[in-house]
Structures are given as structure tokens and as C-alpha cells.
Structure 1
């Protein structure tokens, strides 16, 4: 009879722990992503069907982990799932006309073998699945994709491998903006043809920031391309500054002070605003990560902001706390039961 009571007690305990674990998984793997999307900023262009504007989603420094990462399969699988779920919500929130990947698509892209590169490309395509939309896509190479940092040199083979696996659709994009890709890593950029720039606002795309890091290359871009705006990445944190086309000493820094802030600016030929977009990966060692967005109206009004996502480390800490608490409670209950049985089996003392 006693063993049946023990079995029933263990079953009840198991059901309780299983319920707690299921609720934790639901919270960490589903609820928090939905909750993030409920807190994202409201943008007028996104909610008015008859308003003419170009919708842009910016993905910066995803750096999907390589097979040589510490903890290997466990680390990159968790990171992949986090990127895939957050990107799904960002994609359906913005419904972009253009998706821009601002470089560092892979963490070990530059140093990988061809077989490893193919494996990373397959994972990348699964994570950032855009098949449900007709969005045009622009890919920029970063230093982790083609080299250029330290002793990891850029080579022609690395450039060709990236371009063949990640072809951009820059020339086929229609809308209010003309996108020009520059590569500060190798100091190469091409001027657009005159026929493609009429009545369009010019946005220069660069993996490495330009106006934040003055130099010969950035001056050449500003002088010859005369961009209305610059989108860059690399630093993993959000930053924005405005410069004057005719005053190289003018440099005004703006900040995103709130999670739900949307900054509005009118593009013009007198100044240029550069936005450094934050990384979308929690593995980059920053406190906050997210996806950038921009909308450009026919009148030159641009609305920019960030779709911030929760810290995955916070969710992992919840897992550890719940598992440790359940194990600790189980041990305590077992010890308490053992102590109770021991006390009940002691002979009573009668006077």
C-alpha cells in the first residue's frame, strides 16, 4: 500500500514540474516574441494603405554562428531560432518593399571552407525566409564575410563567393529611393548612371560607418555621390548623425532615447543623415538588439526607428532558475519525506 502512495506522490510531483516547464517554454519561445511586437512603434506609413511610401527593413550584423563556436551545435541552434522568430515578426510588421542586409551575415564566413560556407548559406536562407513577400533584397558584405580585419585579408575568391551566394537586386528596385552600395573595406564604390537618379532620394549603404569615421574614402563618397542619407552597421549599436553637404565640419549627433521612438526627417540636398543600425543578434555582446526600419514618402519624409527585441540571455536565465528551483524543491521534498518517516518510526516514550 505504501509503494502505491509513493508512486502517486511522484506522479503528482512530476505533473507539477512538467506544467511549470511547459509554461516556461511557452513564455520564452513564443509569448515574448509576440509581446515584443506589441511594443514596437506605430508608424503612420505602415497603417495607411493609400499612402505612398517605400518600406525598408534593415538587418544588421546577424553573424550567424559557425560550427567552431564554443558549445557548437547548442549555441548556433539557439541563436538561429532566436533570429528566425524575431525576423518573422519584424517581416510581418513592416511588410517591406526592400530588405537590406548590412553585412556580417556570418560569423565565420571569411575563414570557412566551401563546404562550411554552403552549410552557413543554407542556415541563413532558412532563418531569413522572405518567400511570403515580394521584397527586393540587397546584401552587403562585412569583414566577417570577406575579410579585412587584422590578418584576415580580403581576396578576390572571397568576394566572388559572397556575390554568387548573395546576389543583390539593387537595379530592379522601384520607389522613392535609389540605393548605392559602397565598400569601405576595400575602398571601392561605383557611381550610379544619371538615368537612375532622377526624382529619387539617394541612400548610400555601407557596412562600415562613413561620416562617423572621417577619411579619404568617406569624403569621396560625400563629394561624388552626394547622398541624402547613409545606412551603415558594424558597431552593433544604434547611432545617428547629420552632416552638411557644404560644411565638412558640421556634425550633429542624435540619439534614440526611447524604445518606441520614431524619428522623422525630411530628406534634402543640403544635409545628409547617417544611421548606424544595431545588431539583430543577442550573441554580439550588446545589451539591446533589434531590426531597423525606414519609410520614405514621396515628399521626402523619412521615418526611422528600431524594432527592439528582448534579451535572449534573460530567457536563458529563466530556464536556469526554473530548472534549479524544480530540482531544489524535489530534493527538499524528498528529504522532508525521509525525515518525516524517520520521526514516525521512532518508538513513543510513555511515562
Structure 2
């Protein structure tokens, strides 16, 4: 039995709308993300030492107190689709999450926090051969003055972290820091972090000069480490930031409060003069920034610091992530776009109009 004209119209419309939904909720992520690629290392390197790292920050998964359930569902769906598209298209070997995994981690009960962690791993599933490393953010365990021993230990337990993590992946060294432990006072958290940083600094001094080695010290091949944390290093404001995704004016000129918006000057100097990084990555501000640092003491060294924009559409209309190619002596960074909220909406509207127009065409629907 031949379909009637109205049935053909209805089927055309239904399949058209279905395609619009599939495109805007699935395909568009691949279309945008595939436009970014791994950056090339300019200096010669050993292929076995090349590490491809995917870095993102501030997903801020909503908790039980804030946000409408629909907003929560929508943002988590977007981040899940974006993350899985990145994994499928770019196949990173290591993933670094720079804090504020959760929006209400410091306020959560143990049961709520366990649910939070389960949601995080469900949304950001990684292949078995891919490493994922996280640092704590202030929304995960609280600002320095409000961190309880329990919230700190809880985060460490679930994510197998410490306040200072030192790791080597494919001969590339990384130092991951709990920014709230850089307050510089005599609390247990800060004291332990300070001592651990001094220990890590000793490992690098030993790697450079055997006279600094002692029995039991960890032996490594020397190369400058990559420093990762939640807070940016000390800066007076974001006025130094000129990236297109830097904070808008006048927000860019608002003066930072040390230990709240960034590390303190003292904490920054202690950290970078001991670790002497080749590059620094941080989050927290939700905006992009590239800052060049120069130190003359104890000897001259300089490095770049990247602030990674938020990965969540709740924090900015155009979330970003970074693909970083790393070797022991060099690195290269590509900052990558995710679909803009306006792009998704406008694309959906235009495609719906096209579907309606096609539905009305007599050549398509027959007589």
C-alpha cells in the first residue's frame, strides 16, 4: 500500500528532526574537536619519549545543593560527549585534570562524595591503557582555612593522590601540587607539602650533580619537570592576559587576592625556585592566559605558564582544553575549542528550518 502524501511529509519531518538531534548532540562534537591536532615538537627527540597529554580544568560537576536538575543533566551530557570525542579522536596517553572536579565537594557528606566520584568516573571514562591524574581544587576540599583533615584525606583516598605528586611518564617528569597546601603557614598540610617539595628538589639536584646524592634517594635522568596545579602562580590580576579567551574587561583588571585567586608571592617563589619547571599549567580562573616568567635567583631561568579555561559550558560559553606534546627537553601546546553554546543552538535552528522547508517540497513528498 502506497504511503499517502501526509505520511511522507510526517516521515520526512520525523527523520529530519532526528538527524538534527543526532548532529547537535553527537556529531557536532566530533566536527569541532577533529579540527584540533597534536602539536609538533620542534627539537629532535626519541620517539619512545614522546608523550601525548590531554589537559582540562574545572569541570565543576554540580552537587545536591546548587543548580537545576536540567542544567546539571545538560552540562554533564555535554562534558561527557566532548570528553569521549577527544579520547576517540586523539587517543591521549595521559590525562591531567587541574582541580575543581566538583562544585560542592567540600560541602558533601561521605555518601554524597562517593556518588560524586562515581559520576566523575562515569562521565570521564578512560581506556585501560590511558593514565588519568588529578589535583585537588578549592571546590573539592575547601579553601585553605576551611579544609578539614577528613575532606583532604577523603579526596586523597578516592583519587589516590597526595598534596605533592612526583611522577615520571615516558622519561618526562611531572610535579602535581595541591595549591591550598602552598599557603606557607605551619599547618600540617602545608608543612608536609613543603617538605615533600624539598625532597623532590633534592631528587633533581642529585640528577644534575652526583655530589648531592645520598643513599636511598630516587635516581632519575635529569630533565626539567612540568608543574601542574589548580591555582595560577602569583600575579596581581589577569591584566597580563591577552589571549582571546582571557577574562573580559573590566573583570580582567580586578586585583587578585593572594591565596584566594592565585598562589601568594612567597609560595610561588618557594615552589618555582625549588622545582624550576620548564612549563606550568593551572586552572581556577575559568579563563585562558599565557604568562612568561623570568627568575634571576638562584640562577637565571624562565618558563611559560598556561591557565587552562574551564571545560564546562556552565562556566563559559566556549569551553577549551589543551593537547600537549611532551618530550624530556621540549613541549608544544595546542589550545582546542569545544562547540560554542550559540553555535549548537543556531545550528539546530537552521537545520530545523531546512527540515521544514524540505518537508514542504513537492518533489520530495510526491503526489
TM-score range, shorter chain: 0.7 to 0.9
Provide the secondary structure at the position in 2 that maps to 1:103: coil
Query: CA, structure 1 residues 160+84, in 2 after alignment: closer, same or farther (shift >3 Å)?
Result: same
Say whether the 8 Å CA contact 1:228–1:269 is kept in structure 2. Answer: no
With over 3 angstroms needed to count, the CA separation of the structure-2 counterparts of 1:8 and 1:308, relative to structure 1, is same
TM-score (normalizing by structure 1): 0.74
Per-residue CA deviations over 1:296-333 (Å, capped at 9, x if unaligned) read 224x1210112211024542465578789999xx9xxx
Map 1:174-253; keep pairs closer than 5 Å: 174-187=169-182, 188=190, 189=193, 190-191=196-197, 192=200, 193-194=202-203, 195=218, 198-212=221-235, 213=262, 215-246=265-296
CA contact (8 A) 1:176 1:201 kept: no
C-alpha deviation, 1:216, in angstroms: 1.3
Cα distance, 1:164 vs structure 2: 0.9
What corresponds to 1:61 in structure 2?
A: 58
Q: 2:302 aligns with which of 254, 267, 271?
A: 271
Conservation of the 8 A alpha-carbon contact between 1:211 and 1:274: no
- Does structure 1 conserve the Cα–Cα contact (< 8 Å) formed by 2:38 and 2:325? no
Residue from 64, 85, 89 that aligns with 1:89: 85
Higher-strand-fraction structure: 1
Most deviating of 229-238 and 17-26: 17-26
Rounded Cα–Cα distance in structure 1 between residues aligned with 2:323 and 2:17: 35
Structure (1 or 2) with the larger CA radius of gyration = 1
What residue is the counterpart of 1:137 in the other structure? 132
Cα distance change, pair 184–49 in 1 and its aligned pair in 2 (3 A): closer
Larger relative contact order, structure 1 or 2 (CA cutoff 8 Å, min sep 6): 2
SS in 1 for 2:160: coil
Give the conservation status (yes or no) of the 8 Å contact 2:54–2:324: yes
Give me the CA root mean square deviation: 3.3
Q: Which residue is equivalent to 2:150?
A: 157
Q: TM-score, normalised by structure 2?
A: 0.71
Residue correspondences, number: 298
Shift of 1:24: 1.0
Structure 2 distance, partners of 1:323, 1:198, is 58
Of 50-59 and 111-120, deviating more is 50-59
1:269–1:127 Cα change, 3 Å: farther
